[in-house]
A and B are shown apart, each in its own frame.
Chain A
Amino acid sequence: MNGIANRMPKFIRRADPAVVTAFACIVLLLFLGSLYSRSFLSPEYLLQQLKVASFLGVIATGMMLVILLGQIDLSVPWSVAVGAMMACAAAAYGPVGVALAIPFGIFCGVAIGIVNGIGVAYLRIPSMIITLATNAVAQGLMVVYTGGFSPQDSATGAMRYLATGFAIPAVPNAVIIWALIGAAMVFVLTRTGFGRTVYGIGNRERAAYLSGIDTRRVVMIAFAVSGGLSAFGGVLLAGYASKAAQSMGDAYLLPSIAAVVLGGTSILGGRGSYLGTVAGVILITLLQSILSVMQMPEAGRQIIYGVVIVAMLLLYGRAPASR
């Protein structure tokens, strides 16, 4: 066994089995899809899928940072919606509002993230509880603000350009944005002290604290970044659909967690690579796309979704046995 492993190229030996599995599943899905319809392997279709995936990719990037800490961010649905709604709302306030729309949307997401971060890091409230609570508060605020209807304000030109434009011919802007954010995340995680600290805290916060790291500040920053990225995802989505909607973020909670976890990041924290998250995001997007091409109703999609996630987790996401 060892002999075979040693003879394989170095990059295969070093690869995380979960990441390899995820990429294998992507190839399998593409193969199955191409049996169903030839157009599955056309460059247009693949680029379109990458574009759709990039919204989830931006959101999943923030989720990954939080999961690496061993925490979770369940405030994604309304962070997305708040980012989209507030950016569109700012656009209604003249030229200054239009210019500030995107930063303002992201800022609101960061604010939600900071509340989460303070709750988790300083008040030591379990992250899934405090993020559920801030999600409820954000929803309440938006219901009061919009009166319970989808807001009438529409997205600014800049938002539409970011989500649907082409700065480089044939490559959608959304994909470029995801690539930039992904590259930044890889740099932060692998080349900076902050990134190493995130892994350290995920492994054992006590040990990280005793090593002289201000773990609470790191946790808070991670949650703020996650909130900001969720809101930015919302801004892009609003640009894509040219307006914000009440429950636009609901469809992103489970996929973002699933993408991160399917990509081999341990839900207990401390282990995982961004490459895996990229694979998870593409895998989830392809699965969604194939199900919708097959005209699977919403009910069937939910069931397949849940089953696939549980099955994949059972394959390689299990905690060690207690003995």
Chain B
Amino acid sequence: MKDWRYWLAEQRGTLLAFGIFIAMFVIYTTNHPAGFTANVVQTASNKGVLLAFVAMAQTLVVITAGIDLSVGMIFTLTNCLASWLVIGTGIETAFGVVAVLGTGLLCGAINGAIVIYGRLQPIVATIATGAVYFGIALLLRPFPGGSVNEDLADALTGRLFGVVPASLVVLLAVVLVVWVPFSRSVLGRAAYAAGSSETAAYMSGVPIRRGKFAAYALAGLLAAIGGLFLTFFTYTGDAAYASGNAYTLFSIAAVVLGGVSLFGGKGSAIGAIFGALAFRTIGDLLFVFDFDPLWQPLFQGVILLIAVSLGAFALFRVRNRLEWFL
């Protein structure tokens, strides 16, 4: 197979997600009353970037054939923490940002330690740690409130040169700084290998434990970046159970739309980002077509249901019925 065809086959999921996103975004902007303006793009990207960070976090864990049902709660916890810490002078703000990101990393590392070294099932373990993180968030912010360094917030949620949304630039930077090095490192390859076949990877001497641990920890970090951004958009911290749960759920939808296999070992965070942007755009289509906002949860649920059911088409390729049962 030629190089470019191999690349195409590998990136098929990502390209499909990119295509869906572009199609949806074109429908969205052409029907938007304001049309394709810098303002519309900025608002859309600010909303989309939040989910994109959480979806990237989910991708890292899903690649290892695990799942992190606490990403939404890490997102909520770091949002509450940022509403206390990311304030004041430049130095104080910088310290606050580092502390928030460190907390996210720690939460992810705890998940990883429990799942990998404690050998618990990721579903139950992360539901339980999610409850703990939500409890801490609730301790920090029993009522919505707090504030944030507004200069920094406005700079990161505004526009560069009056055109490019700054949040997209940050997203790109995070991809370049976190995802690209990780996916090319030994640890990243180990995470993929562990998701593809843990036994085979183990037998080949791949450092699967370290790879998986790094994936969980970085997932916490990415969720924290998302939580930080939520604070920049809302200027407040809010320990909302429903919103944390919704982000966990939507991150799974975004990951599936982005062509990441839930069985592990396949897909990329770039795909998940486009999946997240596409999911957000589809959800917002209801508004430009003047539907009652009450229908939005149902609409998003149905998209999620369809997205996860699409995976069933792989069944048609199964030749041996025993392959139904993993």
Contacts and interface: CB of A to CB of B under 8 A. Distances in A.
A267 interface: yes
A136 B300 contact: yes
B130 A306 contact: yes
Contacts of A257: 124, 127
Interface in A293-323: 297-307, 309-310, 313-314, 317-323
B294 A147 contact: yes
Contacts, number: 163
Interface in B302-326: 302, 304-305, 308-309, 311-312, 315, 321-322, 324-325
Contacts of B297: 136, 139-140, 143-144
Contacts of A136: 249, 297, 300-301, 304-305
Nearest to A260: B124
A140 B299 contact: yes
Given A137-B298, A140-B297, A306 B121 contact: no
B119 A139 contact: no
Interface stretch (B47-55, B136-144, B162-170): B136-144
Contact of B294 (A144, A261, A313): A144
Contact of B138 (A126, A133, A139, A299): A299
Nearest to A323: B202
A268 B308 CA distance: 22
A320 B198 CA distance: 14
A130 B298 CA distance: 15
Contact of A124 (B138, B198, B305, B312): B312
A134 interface: yes
A318 B131 CA distance: 20
Nearest to B136: A303
Nearest to B115: A319
Interface residues on A, range: 35 or more
Nearest to A313: B120
Interface string A247-290: 10010011001100100000110000000000000000000000
Interface in B217-259: 241-242, 249, 252-253, 256
A313 B312 contact: no
A125 B298 contact: no
B304 A133 contact: yes
A247 B242 contact: yes
Nearest to B130: A306
Interface of B: 67, 69, 114, 118-121, 123-125, 127-139, 142, 198-199, 202, 241-242, 249, 252-253, 256, 262-263, 294-302, 304-305, 308-309, 311-312, 315, 321-322, 324-325
7 contacts: A132-B304, A267-B124, A297-B138, A306-B128, A306-B133, A313-B118, A313-B124
